[in-house]
């Protein structure tokens, strides 16, 4: 299901060079905490994080017992960031991005979309 609010958040983040990371806490907030709501919320956060090059920390149906493993991973991700420059194909707006390497065994996480001014 499309969500115009999530789409605008992703586009605004891409325009401003903001990478989104999230920790989903199921029992936070005032809304229904049922499975459908949890699934929709997590999937939208996951999509937003993937589009901006961040990471969604979630445990699906349960809240984390401790948050420090997520924070340690987050710090590791911040310590291992690299800048990649590419030339756009004369398009403007949000465009899909694919990044690959010739080195075997290297895992690269990057935004799935980029803002082209």
> Which residue segment(s) compose the domain that 31 sits in?
4-116
For residues 37 and 61, give the distance between their C-alpha atoms in angstroms, rounded to a whole number.
11
By C-alpha distance, which of 105, 104, 99 is closest to 85? 99
Number of domains the chain is built from: 1
pTM of the model: 0.77
Q: At residue 24, does pLDDT exceed 90?
A: no
Q: Give the pLDDT score at 33.
A: 60
Averaged pLDDT score across all residues of the chain? 83
Q: Where is pLDDT greater, at 7 or 3?
A: 7
């Amino acid at each position: 299901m499309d969500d115009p609010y999530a789409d605008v958040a992703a586009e605004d983040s891409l325009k401003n060079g903001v990478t989104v990371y999230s920790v989903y806490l199921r029992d936070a907030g005032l809304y229904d905490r049922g499975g459908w709501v949890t699934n929709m919320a997590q999937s939208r956060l996951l999509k937003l994080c993937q589009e901006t090059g961040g990471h969604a920390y979630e445990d699906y149906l349960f809240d984390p017992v401790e948050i420090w493993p997520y924070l340690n991973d987050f710090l590791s991700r911040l310590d291992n960031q690299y800048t990649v420059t590419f030339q756009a194909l004369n398009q403007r707006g949000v465009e899909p991005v694919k990044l690959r390497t010739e080195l075997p065994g290297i895992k690269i996480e990057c935004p799935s979309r980029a803002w082209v001014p």
